[in-house]
Amino acid sequence: MQNAAVIFLSVLLSAAFHPALSLVDGYLPNGDFERGPKASDMNGTVVKGPYAIPEWEISGFVEYIKSGQKQGDMLLVVPEGAFAVRLGNEASIKQKVKVVKGLYYSITFSAARTCAQEERLNISVAPDWGVLPMQTLYNSNGWDLYAWAFQATSDEVAILIHNPGEEEDPACGPLIDAIAIKTLYPPKASNDNLVKNGDFEVGPYVFPNASSGVLVPPNIEDDHSPIPGWMVESLKAVKYIDSDHFSVPSGKRAVELVAGKESAIAQIVRTIPGKTYILSFVVGDASNSCEGSMVVEAFAGKNTLKVPYQSKGNGGSKPAALKFQAESTRTRIMFLSTFYTMRSDDFSSLCGPVLDKVRLLSVRNPKA
């Protein structure tokens, strides 16, 4: 018995002092690119050596861009701080990071489109990868925050961001800045809620000084969701928002459905055929000048409910509930916004209703 206790304690200590556990949620080393190449490693804005940018390995046509810099008449927007990198045709940046094998992680980064109209990014941590289209700008400031998730298959992984574009101008490519990582601990369903992560409190890293929210791409481009438990089943992203910058109905996090019916979030839950359930949730607005008539459509299997919400754009919420009888052992619940909406103070920024506090409970006495 004593030997077993010693072995158990040894395992605990080895886990506690595992070097991979030194990973802290937040910026990757030089994730804001404020530490740049030496003058000898630059040819104008082009970075010459593969290891010229501290903490990063680069490949292809990579530029080191300073805030305020122009390309012709176009101002190159640096999302964070004074510097960013631009990835030209087939260019990439890579960094190796210590992680814990088997755990899930989310990457958050800023990206700004420049001169190419069909820009997209390939982000990968082997064997996971995803292509993030950047044709849609969700903010009028020229850049958006994106999240992407992966499961670590070893104690060290290489995070790679690659521009697969083939533009006539090799310099035409997205600006990349502010790259951070966060460990995700997938929540479980409970007797109090059959929906996992129904309050959206577990999600990607949100920068303390970023007031735009974080875009979560569709599941067709992301095998592991940055919002554990949830899939984005649509052509467009949903936005993950925080209470420091937005009005959130409950807790510190919520989801904004920013692209009408092209922005949907879903989860498959365990149910018992023939049993009655109540799917409850809260809809509202993020207090971001998103005004007008909104409708959130809720689905539970073949059952639907449309919840109207009249937004004044200054925060507010209302509860709703959908009662249904399960037809199988797995029921898909899904939420989407009926309409596209633009902010009243900025007609170039997409917005929409906020979804929060999603709960699913069985009804003991459905006739009561």
First to last CA, the chain: 54
Are the CB atoms for 265 and 334 separated by under 8 Å? yes
Residues 279, 323: Cα–Cα separation, whole Å = 6
Residue ranges of domains in the chain: 19-183, 185-362
* Nearest one of 23, 178, 209 to 99, comparing CA atoms: 23
Q: Are the CB atoms for 255 and 286 separated by under 8 Å?
A: no
- What is the residue whose two structure tokens read 């990757």? 28
Q: Any idea which fold 19-183 has?
A: Jelly Rolls (2.60.120)
Quote the distance between the C-alpha of residue 29 and its chain's center. Answer: 20
Q: Which residues of 145-169 are buried (b: 16+ CB within 10 A; e: fewer)?
A: bbbbbbbbeeeebebbbbbebebee
pLDDT tens string for the chain (368 positions)? 444 444 334 434 433 444 434 468 999 999 999 999 999 999 999 999 999 999 999 999 999 999 888 777 677 878 788 999 999 989 999 999 999 999 999 999 999 877 756 678 999 999 999 888 876 767 767 788 999 999 999 999 999 999 988 777 777 888 999 999 999 998 888 889 999 999 999 999 999 988 889 999 887 655 689 999 999 988 888 999 999 999 999 999 999 999 888 889 999 999 999 999 999 999 999 999 999 999 999 999 999 999 999 999 899 999 999 999 999 999 999 999 998 888 887 767 889 999 999 999 999 876 65
260 phi and psi angles, rounded to 5 deg: 55, -140
DSSP SS3 for 295: strand
Q: Do the beta carbons of residue 281 and residue 355 sit within 8 Å?
A: yes
- How far is Cα 250 from Cα 200, in angstroms, rounded to an integer? 10
CATH code: domain 185-362 is 2.60.120.260
DSSP code for 190: B
pTM for this model (two decimals): 0.89
- Confirm whether 19-183 and 185-362 share one CATH topology: yes
